[in-house]
Each structure stands twice: as structure tokens, then as C-alpha cells.
Amino acid sequence: MSQSTHAEKVGVSIRSATKMYGAFCALDHVDLEVKAGEFVSILGPSGSGKTTFLGILGGFVQPTSGAILLGERDITLEPPHKRDIGIVFQNYALFPHMNVAENVTFPLRARRIPKSGWPAKLKAALEMVELTGYGNRKIHELSGGQRQRVALARAMIFEPRLILMDEPLSALDKQLRESMQIELKHLHRKLDATIIYVTHDQREALTMSDRIAVMRKGQIVQIDTPEQLHDNPVDSFVAGFIGEATLVPVQRVDEHSVTLAGTRLVSSKPVPNTIHLFLVVQSEKITVAADGDTSGPNLLTGIVHETLYQGESIRIFLDLPGGERISVRVPSNHTGRTLMKHPGDRITVRLHPDDTVVVPQAS
Amino acid sequence: MAISSAVDPSVLHERREQRLILMLLAPALLVVIGLLIVPLCWLAWQSFRQDGGFTLAHYARFVSDDVYWRTFLQTFRIAFVVTVATLLLAYPVAYVAASASRRMSILILAMVILPFWTSVLVRSYAWLILLQRRGLVNSALDGMGLIDQPLILVNNELGTVIATTHILLPFMVLPLYAAMQKIPADLMMAGSSLGGSPAHVFWRVFLPLSLPGVLAGTVLVFVLALGFYITPELLGGGRTYMVSMLVSRNIELYSEWGAASSISVVLLLCVFGIFRLASMIIPFERIMGAR
């Protein structure tokens, strides 16, 4: 698993991939270019076409039309075992009748790699996932996190040109999931491999990815870096899916301003020229103005509906005069606590023009 | 210390529950004891009796009389061939049933089980008609010009094996299907994505995971074939002599209850031995499909 073996790492191009199941279109002309060494997440709710997309990449589903290229090679019609793609499955898919070492060396045996080369590769793979010395363990003796690592080691040992991960952390508890996310990110850097990661967890995607492709109804709606996706969503679907956003209907005034319940809000980004517009209110981007502070633009006044103390932060639900309820998050430090109000209190909040994001309604 | 003398209510509850379970089991237990355990003991007792006294003569015949051990040998041979034949026929059927869509697998299993609901006697006669000298099989082969003279398919060991294989097929298909259905599909997907050709994945992943079903079906079919009676009687034509027939001859022709009992006891011990061996590999409950 030396660096030199990954010199031939390649990118992936998915060109107009379409999958029809009868009249139902599971995947609708999807285009995606993944650069060599890139970590790209496919993010979407269930039923958005993620699984079909993964099936087409892995070779388990034949696309109705379109092409998949691994580097220069067209693999659209290649069977799964000739694709050279390491897949980490949702439920690990470890072979229960084999121990850890047998599971991890399965790809070597399948590829008829001479046995003399196995021990070094096995050692390196187990070291990579910090399971040194676990070779003889039975699968049922392992914890969820350890199984996850075995699945990773097995998918990496044959130095595949692409690694696919299908919600690999969804079966783990929150704490383990978060530490595995960081570990996967480090592993990606160490391996320098191309990774496509399928998930429905936006936080996971934001944490790990170089770029995120958001899917909806069989199409990629937006593909961008986590920052771009969070700060500049293309429509109300992406905006509602990323972060902790409330979407509030607004009316367009001009290129850089909208009105919300009679209040004019200025945005530093151009406002789309359509009728159905939404203001994306990310709860952490709103600041609570100190009492009597009414300077600057984009001030909104509302009645506190409820406050929730959530440990590291306080979440305030605020009812605006127009009837919309937005959520505001303030840190639970001293300043935050002095701002904490009681239901029925009237407070003023401020939205910076840079954070005033207006999106069109998703089609 | 008034408290210590009082019985813990949870213990009382547990006792009540045990009594209830015993009461629910009682009818079945009585039937098993009355109709199985007692007659078996009587059978064993009979095998050591002759003319009102104790004897080992019935067992001595297993050594002295070569008809006895030859019959056992032929019975085991037939049971073995039948088991191998059912396994080879049933494995692909179960595989298709387990990997097909739900509707399709129900259809396949229905076709496997349907003949099961017809009496063994009827099915054995049906095979007699199909396999006889001028039966359907011979006339078809003759019509296709594949044979010059009719094959002797019946009144011999071959006929017995063919019919017994057919009759016992469901006992192989069902445990195989049950085992295969439990193999998660993503294991096969994982196997092929990791570079395993379909043959490699089958050999290294599917087959080993289906082995509990293979063992269960093998034990069931082998044990059932050991005690088969009607089919070899009808299709064996007197040339095939199985243990069950030895028992029936001893009673019908010679009224030798002692001899018949000793043969039954030996066969029963053989079956126990087979189950014991099999349960060393996988637990008995799984052979019977309980888990």
C-alpha cells in the first residue's frame, strides 16, 4: 500500500447515466466528473436515486443509457469483478464464515495474487485501519466500529482505483460515527485514493467531502464544495437539506433586496428573478441584537415562541410578524445566556447581507 | 426475622409459569410417551426374548447370517446414492428459488411440494408405469431412436433409486432453500466487487454459507431413505432388499417378532448415530429447521 502503487489513481466520469425501471426514471441523465484523488459525496434523501447511482458505478445495475469511465477506460458494460472498484457496503457485508484475515485477503485470493505477497499487504491493511493483531478474530466477535474497519481494509487491500462507500457509518452510534468521519478523512489523505461516498446525512457529507453532489428525483441538483453548498444553495430543496435552515417566503424588490412581512432585507448576492422566492435562514447565521440596538440593515423583530437549552448552544424559535417561525442559535456562553429570552418576549435579530441568501423554489 | 420466611413473589411467579408450561405440554408428552417411548422399549425388550427367555440369538444373526449384513449394506448403498442424487438435483432448484423474485420462488416451491401431497403409494405406482418395459420413458427413448431395446429401469435397484429420489426430493429442496434464503445478497455483491468471478464467489462465499442446509437435507433424506418401504417393495421387483423389507418378511412370513425387533433396533441405532455425527457439526435444532 505504498504511495507509488496509487500513482495510477484515476478519476471517474459519469456521462448522462440514465436508469429506467419501466416508466419510472430512477436516474435521469446524471453527469458527474470526479477528479483523481477527490472525495465526492452523493447526498440525497431516500428515493433520490443514490442507490441506483451506486449500483451503476459498482456494476450491479445496468444503466438504460449513458457511460461510465474509469480514467480512460469505459467500464459501462464490465461486470463488477472486473471493475477494480473497492466497495464498502452499508452493513459491511463481511463474510461471516471467515475470520478477519480471510475477509481482508479475499480480494487477493480472488485476483490470484501469489500468496507470498499476502502477509505484507495484510499487515499494511490492518495497520491502516488500526486493527493490527485482529487477523484471527471471528467477525461476530467484533464491535460495529471494528467491523467497519475490516470492511475498509478489505476494500483497500487490492489498491482499487476507486473506492465507493454506501452509507458506511449509518449503523454506528453518533459518537463513533463522528470519530470515524475524521478517521476516514485522514485515511483518504493517506491513501490519496478517489472516493465516492453515498450518504443521506448532510453533516457527514459536509465534514468529509471535497465536493458534494446533491441528488433529488434521480438528478444531481447541485455539485459544489461544502462551503459553496451551504452558503449558495441553488434552490429551496438544497437549502432545506443542508444545515439547519428555515425557508421563509419573500417578495423580490430589486436585484439586491427582498421584503419579508413588510421589512426590507438587503442581500449582497443577486436575487433570482422569479416569483416564488425563499429566504434561507440558517439558524447560526442570525445574530440577536442587544436591546435598543437598531443600527444597520436587515433587522427583524419577532416574539420568542420557545427557547431550548441544548448544551453547547441555545436554540430560540422566533415568530415573525408575518406568521413565519424561524430558528436562531446562540452560543451558550455568558453573552448568549444574557440574550436568552422567555417565551412572549420581543427580540430583534440581524441578518448580515452576506448571509442573506435568497433561493428560487425547487421545481 | 419474619421477612426471610416469606417466599419471594418472583419465585412464586416463576413456579406458576413452569406449572403452566408443563400443563400445556402434557397432552403431547403423553402421546409421545404412550405411543412412542413405551412401544420402543417394548421393541427393544422383544429383541432380547425367545421362547419366554433371554437371548442374544437375534443379534448374533447379524454376524452369522450374511442376508442380514448384505441387506444393511444394500440399504446404506441405496440411501447414499439417493442422497447424492437428491442433493445434485435439489441444489440448483433451491438456488433458483432462493434468488428468484418472491412470486417466482413461491411457484417453484409449490411445484416441489405439490407431489408431496399425493400418497407415496400412488407416486410409486406412477413410476412403475413410467419406467416399465413399454412405459413412457422407454417408448420415448425408442421413438427418438436413442435405444434399440427397452432399458430395464424397473424391478431393480435403479428403479428403486429413481422413485425414491423423486419422492424424497422435497426433503432436500426445503432445507437447502431455507439456508440459501438466509444468505444476504450483499455478500455476493461484495464478493464480486472485490474481484471474485461468479464461480469464485459461489465457491468461496455461497457454497460454504449454504452448507448447514446441505447437511440438514442430507441427514433428512439419508435417514428417510434408510427406512423406505413401499417404493423399494414396488419398484425393486424382489431384487432390491432393504432393511424395512427384512423386518416385514420376518413378521409376515415367519412371525419372528424377536428377529424383526432386533433389526429395527439396529436400524434405529444407526439413525441415532447419524444424527449424533451431524449434530457435532451443526446443532440438532438447525438440522430440523428450527433456527
The residue of chain A nearest to residue B188, with distances taken between CA atoms, is: A93
Which of B164, B156, B275 has its CA nearest to residue B229?
B164
Q: Could you tell me if A54 and A12 lie in one domain? A: yes
> Rounded distance, CA B263 to CA B67, Å?
12
Q: Could you tell me if A202 and A345 lie in one domain? A: no
Q: Could you tell me if A65 and A157 lie in one domain? A: yes
Q: What is the pLDDT of residue B239?
A: 76
Determine, yes or no, domain membership for A326.
Answer: yes
Determine, yes or no, domain membership for A315.
Answer: yes
Look at residues A203, A229, A255 and tell me which one is the last residue of a structural domain.
A229
> With contact defined as beta carbons under 8 Å apart, do A279 and A257 qualify?
no
- B145/A contact by beta carbon, under 8 A: no
Q: What is the pLDDT of residue A75?
A: 92
Q: Could you tell me if A197 and A49 lie in one domain? A: yes
Check A80 against B200: CB less than 8 A apart.
no
> With contact defined as beta carbons under 8 Å apart, do A311 and A332 qualify?
yes
Query: How distant, in Å, are the alpha carbons of A77, A125, B211 from that of B196?
Result: 17, 19, 20
Interface of A with B in 148-167 (CB under 8 A): 154-155, 158
Mean pLDDT, consecutive 10-residue segments, chain B of 291 residues?
A: 61 87 92 92 88 83 85 92 96 94 92 87 90 88 86 87 93 93 92 94 94 91 92 83 88 85 91 88 64 45
Q: Could you tell me if A253 and A203 lie in one domain? A: no
Query: Given strand A24-34, what is the order of strands in its sheet?
Result: A24-34, A12-21, A65-70, A73-74
> Rounded distance, CA B191 to CA A80, Å?
9
Provide Rg for chain B, Cα atoms: 25
Look at residues A229, A260, A281 and tell me which one is the last residue of a structural domain.
A229
Q: What is the pLDDT of residue A2?
A: 40
Q: Say whether pLDDT at A7 is over 70.
A: no
Q: What is the pLDDT of residue A137?
A: 93
- Segment A290-303 shows an average pLDDT of 80
* DSSP state for residue A89 in the 8-state scheme: -
Chain B interface mutation, best of A97, A102, A163, highest count of B Cβ atoms under 10 Å: A97
Q: How far is A51 from chain B (nearest CA, A)?
A: 13
Residue ranges of domains in chain B, CATH in brackets: 65-287 (1.10.3720.10)
One-letter amino acid for residue A42 of the chain: I
Q: Kindly indicate the confidence band of residue A1, based on its pLDDT and cuts at 50, 70 and 90.
A: very low
Angle between helices A174-191 and A144-156 (to 10 degrees): 20
Q: Could you tell me if A59 and A180 lie in one domain? A: yes
Contacts of B60 (CB under 8 A, 6+ apart): none
Give me the numbers of helices (H) and strands (E) for chain A, helices first please.
9, 20
Residues B78-106: b if buried by 16+ CB within 10 A, e if exposed: bbebbbebbeeebbebbbebbeeeeeebe
All three cell numbers of A131:
486493527
Determine, yes or no, domain membership for A238.
Answer: no
- A111/B contact by beta carbon, under 8 A: yes
Q: Could you tell me if A128 and A256 lie in one domain? A: no
Q: Could you tell me if A224 and A250 lie in one domain? A: no
Mean pLDDT of chain A: 88
Determine, yes or no, domain membership for A272.
Answer: yes
All three cell numbers of A243:
444545515
User: Into how many domains does chain A fold?
Assistant: 2
> With contact defined as beta carbons under 8 Å apart, do A277 and A358 qualify?
yes
User: Looking at residue A124, which CATH number applies to its domain?
Assistant: 3.40.50.300
- Segment A254-274 shows an average pLDDT of 87
Question: B38 or A192, which is more confident?
Answer: B38
Longest dimension (CA), chain B: 98
Work out the number of other CB atoms within 10 angstroms of the CB of residue B18: 10
Q: Could you tell me if A7 and A53 lie in one domain? A: yes
Q: How far is B186 from chain A (nearest CA, A)?
A: 6
Contacts of B33 (CB under 8 A, 6+ apart): none
Indicate the pairing of strand A257-260 with strand A263-266. Answer: antiparallel
Q: What is the pLDDT of residue B1?
A: 45
Check A95 against B205: CB less than 8 A apart.
yes
Look at residues A229, A263, A291 and tell me which one is the last residue of a structural domain.
A229
Check A97 against B208: CB less than 8 A apart.
yes
State the residue range of the domain holding A277.
244-360
B240-245 contacts: CB < 8 A, separation 24 or more? B240/B74, B240/B78, B240/B156, B240/B157, B240/B159, B240/B160, B241/B67, B241/B70, B241/B71, B241/B74, B242/B71, B242/B74, B242/B75, B242/B78, B242/B160, B243/B71, B243/B72, B243/B75, B243/B267, B245/B71
> Rounded distance, CA B230 to CA B244, Å?
9
All three cell numbers of A278:
425563499
> With contact defined as beta carbons under 8 Å apart, do B248 and B199 qualify?
no
Determine, yes or no, domain membership for A234.
Answer: no
Q: What is the pLDDT of residue A295?
A: 76
- A118/B contact by beta carbon, under 8 A: no
Rounded (5°) CA angle A16-A22-A26:
40
> With contact defined as beta carbons under 8 Å apart, do A362 and A236 qualify?
yes
Q: How far is B179 from chain A (nearest CA, A)?
A: 14
> Rounded distance, CA A225 to CA A209, Å?
8
> With contact defined as beta carbons under 8 Å apart, do A58 and A83 qualify?
yes
All three cell numbers of A353:
447581507
Q: Say whether pLDDT at A6 is over 60.
A: no
Contacts of B105 (CB under 8 A, 6+ apart): B97, B98, B177
One-letter amino acid for residue B8 of the chain: D
Q: Kindly indicate the confidence band of residue A290, based on its pLDDT and cuts at 50, 70 and 90.
A: confident
Longest dimension (CA), chain A: 77
Determine, yes or no, domain membership for A352.
Answer: yes
User: Looking at residue A333, which CATH number applies to its domain?
Assistant: 2.40.50.100
- Segment A160-185 shows an average pLDDT of 87
> Rounded distance, CA B55 to CA B7, Å?
55
> With contact defined as beta carbons under 8 Å apart, do B214 and B86 qualify?
no
One-letter amino acid for residue A167 of the chain: E
Q: Could you tell me if A195 and A297 lie in one domain? A: no
SS3 state of residue A240: helix
Q: Say whether pLDDT at A205 is over 70.
A: yes
The residue of chain B nearest to residue A94, with distances taken between CA atoms, is: B187
Determine, yes or no, domain membership for A218.
Answer: yes
Contacts of A196 (CB under 8 A, 6+ apart): A12, A34, A40, A41, A42, A54, A57, A162, A163, A164, A165
> With contact defined as beta carbons under 8 Å apart, do A218 and A44 qualify?
no
Which of B107, B135, B125 has its CA nearest to residue B166?
B125
Contacts of A105 (CB under 8 A, 6+ apart): A118, A121, A122, A157
One-letter amino acid for residue B13 of the chain: H
Determine, yes or no, domain membership for A236.
Answer: no
- Segment A179-186 shows an average pLDDT of 87
> Rounded distance, CA B229 to CA B129, Å?
18
Q: Could you tell me if A249 and A219 lie in one domain? A: no
Q: What is the pLDDT of residue B156?
A: 86
> With contact defined as beta carbons under 8 Å apart, do A269 and A316 qualify?
no
Chain B interface mutation, best of A81, A87, A105, highest count of B Cβ atoms under 10 Å: A81
SS3 state of residue A47: coil
Q: Could you tell me if A95 and A221 lie in one domain? A: yes
- Segment A49-76 shows an average pLDDT of 92
- A170/B contact by beta carbon, under 8 A: no
Given 3-state DSSP classes, what are the helix, strand and coil percentages for chain A, each rounded to the nearest 5? 30, 35, 35
Nearest by CB: A91 against B186, B193, B200:
B186
Helical (H) or strand (E) element with B137: helix B136-143
